[in-house]
Structure 1
């Protein structure tokens, strides 16, 4: 993940005319990396997230929907409702 972050930063350095993506490294991570970061730092999150499989399944579902949107697709209503449900679950869990 650090290599990916560094590569994105290097791309920005080459294209100075374009605004920076973020002022922090977390802003250079991809959505799919967030679950990996949490799992890699599990001791910091285990008290608020029930288990790693729970987190992974939700992040995988969100990422599939994200990919549809980012590749100019339109989400059908059932996908939107799935995202809403996942977000509600996450918000209830982390309180």
Structure 2
């Protein structure tokens, strides 16, 4: 047997072993951490975290990803529509003073921490609830996009409540996973 045949045989044996390990993990509902080793080869500390936390994190990652995309798109939408309606001085002229003060405090805290600044846009220093307040305060800039102001407020309130466990490392109950999916659909339906 030449070297190429040995390599082919090794690859085939490895593939069979991987399939058997996948089957074993599924049947016994255990995780042998092979995926973690592949995903985080340089992060040997990751395996020191409790397997329950690693499993929760993996399940919660998909909800975080949805909320990340949603929140980023809402921030972008606010900037776009406020610019269109009020021009590039909208932040100074149309954002409530309390929100501007809170943003300045957040920026100052971040600068004093020595960490990399998260953004050059002030909108990125607002809380999710403050985003809703900016829209509510300036509804005329958003009324062509959103069909109903009351529905907007309800959906934003629900999203803000659902954001809490996602942002603060708590697993979502099955009902809340379903509620998140429905509320995100409601968000898009509100704009149709």
Q: What TM-score, normalized to structure 1?
A: 0.87
| Alignment match of 2:145 (pick from 48, 61, 68) | 48
Look up the SS of the partner of 2:188 in the other structure: helix
- Structure with more helix by fraction: 2
| Alignment match of 2:124 (pick from 27, 30, 38) | 27
User: 2: distance between equivalents of 1:25 and 1:69?
Assistant: 23
User: 2: distance between equivalents of 1:9 and 1:45?
Assistant: 27
Q: Name the structure, 1 or 2, with higher relative contact order (CA <8 Å, separation 6+).
A: 1
Which range is displaced more, 68-77 or 3-12?
Answer: 68-77
| Alignment match of 1:66 (pick from 160, 163, 170) | 163
Q: CA RMSD in A?
A: 1.4
**Displacement, 1:39?**
0.9
User: 2: distance between equivalents of 1:76 and 1:8?
Assistant: 31
**Displacement, 1:52?**
2.1
Look up the SS of the partner of 1:47 in the other structure: coil
Structure with higher Rg: it is: 2
User: Unaligned 5+ residue runs, structure 2?
Assistant: 1-98
The residue number in structure 1 matching 2:133 is 36
- Determine if the alignment matches structure 1 residue 85 to structure 2 residue 188: no
| Alignment match of 1:12 (pick from 96, 99, 110) | 110
User: Unaligned 5+ residue runs, structure 1?
Assistant: none
